Structure 1
């Protein structure tokens, strides 16, 4: 058992804290936001992630997991400090490391004995080297610290599965001293451990997300070509996915990628590359394709509704993906804003989020949301939408257009219920 302080009670911090506690470690999760800590101590979870609430409750009850807003005390009393604070994007695409810097200042002001400082937050290449040098510049003896880069590879909606069944665990280190401890940090089974340099670990994280984003944009561009030739893109995706060199994951076509990782990390990697005078034409194209997906689907809708002024449009799904409540960089939100700009009356339904935005009407009932609608758009592929009662949808709508912006519906079933199915790369 290890004594671990996780700094940051956001998405990564909470899921990581709960998993480390489940592994048997004594974990203190700290955050300066007092209201969030009070909520957690009352058994309330500020984010939606399947299985997380039960995992936290179990480990709080068995004494392995504690929450506190006394960050100084948490850092002082634990040998392992895991930084899991946000690194939001700036306007120029670079990462705002302000929260990371704040944590470092606290560590530097309290360090008296040996600490392993692990950066779990996603940070640009060179950040952990800078952290190591900062400790030295402050006169901290090298015997008192080790800096480790340990990026996360969590999928929102499946984060706990990813922690308990990782396909790899990456550690970047400056010395060999912390390796023995790091090998015991996670219950890993036969999971490969990758040890590399501090900057090497940071690049593995960025390169992974850049490659996944590239697959998505490749899928979306291929779907456009399929649409032009009346080819079923799902068949093409299946053919691609059977090739072990490619794999099936991240080949779904649709509105594009969003969330807190892919858009932010691509822009940050692009910024980091440009600082070293490296061209990023592939990353530029990936972002350009992704940013044009909403317009692509609106043009598809315009083939049946040329003028959206005063049309009632229902949007199912507002989160950037299913099984999460995360709205950050959600393509669904971008779509909704464009519909409003074109004069449509937008109504929404989402299984988890009650969206509060000017100019929309949010519904708590899936079928009530389509009443008198001219068109229904599936913007997030929640499982319950796959199995909807399409006869009830048809009877409630005034129009008959179903725009499948996630390629997740069976076109034949939609049409059998007297509805018009629209998709990209699906006939």
Structure 2
């Protein structure tokens, strides 16, 4: 099948490479000439494990092509996949300006029947609106089928997720269109769920919002565990063993970020408000997430005293999670901004990202970032941070405080090196035993 994927960002590029691997001929198009030029020269503009190799394989096999001429390939291909961004507008709604621009391009170049797949995350009702949009633009009804086909990729494991999804979701108004879109994924062993367009859009928003609620729940429970000197890691393990709940997304830490959860929670809240409804549970989850960084600022203040000029804090990690260079809504960056605003010197290191930030000095290595540091905050769970030699860390630091903002470190190893470990809801074993005896 000849497919034009519009959008060469995280979702579009990954999806294009996967579809090429499945045997389709894919034109990945984007109006960003610089991005396309980079791709044509073999440079991948994002970091995702395995993506570069998959793109190289697709281009070598003449299955994957790149172009900035969106109208040409939109007109040429019978299947158009919309994979552009839907960023948050100031009021929290999803900004559909890029989606609408692609749809207008498709409508203007329509010379024959096409299937238009919306891969972008869009509010419920967008697919039905898009179908009506084509009719209003004079496109014959039988010439266009709009299908919702959301992605469920996790940054850092997107290639694995693409080939081993929990489900393939297809929202269409006709059996024929739904069957065609499902067939694009022949070769992937996964259940296919056929729904209406609006149902598919709601499933996408509902899935991400549920994960956000789950993360905020475990973070708030971790705060309560501290009051009782209980270990949240043991509590989360016990909760996760219940098959009705499951163990994933029960890792307490500094809060969720990235391109999906914060944006989609805000968009669903705003979408509900547009219908005169309030989503109190989601609003509470968003509030917990927004206040989570302050929990760690308070921990630093409790251990070091007032945070002020002359104090140096090292921060390991900039991206919102490990194995990605995505800085969107990263709580690590929010923490750095908070510390810098209080006058602290902030020295930071991340394996992939070092954005320009007022008051933040970027080091060339994780050890270099420790020079003269009164405390270290591990804000992203990169494996090289988890596996650090804590004796070497102690020798490099001025102070002894290590704040584990992801609850990923081996507490015993950190403390055996003579460092003072602070996590979230992770008391010393002695404290836990004393609490049980009280």
Structure 1 and Structure 2 fold alike (TM over 0.5)? yes
Contact kept, 8 Å, 1:164 with 1:187, in 2: the verdict is: no
Matched, 1:41 2:76: no
- Establish whether residue 368 from structure 1 lines up as the match of residue 339 from structure 2: no
| 8 Å CA contact retained: 1:240, 1:247 | yes
Q: Deviations over 1:75-105 (max 9, x none)?
A: 0110000000000101110111010111011
Aligned partner of residue 146 in structure 2, secondary structure: strand
What is the count of residue pairs matched by the alignment? 426
What's the secondary structure of 2:190's corresponding residue? coil
What is residue 306 of structure 1 aligned with on the other side? 305
> Counterpart of 1:226?
225
Q: Helix, strand or coil: the match of 1:194?
A: strand
**For residues 25-45 of structure 1, what are the alpha-carbon distances to aligned partners after superposition, in whole Å with 9 as ceiling and x for unaligned?**
000000000111010000000
Any unmatched runs of 5+ in structure 1? none
Cross-structure match for 1:74: 73
In the other structure, the counterpart of 1:283 is 282
Please name the residue that 2:129 is paired with: 130
Deviation track 1:150-169 (CA, whole Å, cap 9, x = no partner) reads: 01111000111110000001
Number of the residue aligned with 2:88: 89
Q: How far apart, CA to CA, are the structure 2 residues paired with 1:386 and 1:399?
A: 19
Offset at 1:189?
Answer: 4.3
**Is structure 2 residue 233 aligned with structure 1 residue 252?**
no
| Residues 294-373 of structure 1 aligned to structure 2 (within 5 Å) | 294-309=293-308, 310-373=310-373
In the alignment, what sits opposite 2:435?
none
Q: Which residue of 2 aligns with 1:4?
A: 3
Q: Confirm whether residue 198 of structure 1 aligns to residue 201 of structure 2.
A: no
Provide structure 2 residue ranges, at least 5 long, that are not aligned to the other structure: 428-438
Q: Residue in 1 aligned with 2:292?
A: 293
How many angstroms does 1:183 deviate by?
2.4
SS at match of 1:177: helix
Matches within 5 A, 1:167-246: 167-187=166-186, 189-246=188-245
Is the Cα–Cα contact under 8 Å of residues 170 and 182 in structure 2 kept in the other structure?
no
Q: CA deviation at 1:187?
A: 3.2
- Shift of the alpha carbon at 1:188? 5.1
Residue 303 of structure 1 aligns to a residue whose secondary structure is helix
The aligned counterpart of 1:98 is: 97
> Do 1:165 and 1:188's aligned partners in 2 also have CA atoms closer than 8 Å?
no
**2:260 is matched with which residue?**
261
Local SS of the residue matching 1:205: helix
User: What do residues 123-178 of structure 1 show as CA deviations (whole Å, max 9, x unaligned)?
Assistant: 01111110001111122111111000001111000111110000001111112221
Q: CA deviation at 1:307?
A: 1.5
Identify the residue that residue 145 of structure 1 maps to in structure 2: 144
Quick check: 2:340–2:358 contact (8 Å CA) kept in 1?
Answer: no
How far is 1:304 from its partner?
Answer: 1.1
List 4+ stretches of structure 1 deviating above 6 A.
none
Match in the other structure for 1:380? 380
Deviation per residue, 1:40-63 (Å, 9 max, x gap):
000000000000001101110110
In structure 2, C-alpha distance between the alignment counterparts of 1:372 and 1:177, rounded to whole Å: 65
Work out the CA distance in 1 between the residues paired with 2:58 and 2:263. Answer: 32
CA shift digits 1:226-248 (9 cap, x unpaired):
11111111001111111110111
Secondary structure in 2 aligned to 1:297? helix
CA distance in 2, matches of 1:303, 1:94: 38
* 3-state SS in 1 of match to 2:176: coil
| 1:359 CA drift (Å) | 1.3
SS at match of 2:303: coil
State the distance in 1 between where 2:229 and 2:146 align.
54
After TM superposition, the structure 1 stretch with the greater mean CA deviation from structure 2, 36-45 or 355-364, is 355-364
Contact kept in structure 2, 1:354 and 1:364, CA below 8 Å: no
Q: Which residue of 2 aligns with 1:420?
A: 420
CA displacement at 1:352 relative to structure 2: 1.2
* Inter-partner Cα distance in structure 2 for 1:270 and 1:183: 30
Is contact 2:117-2:148 (8 Å) kept?
yes
Q: With structure 2 as the length reference, what TM-score do the two structures score?
A: 0.96
Whole-angstrom distance in 1 between the partners of 2:187 and 2:291: 40
CA distance in 1, matches of 2:132, 2:142: 14
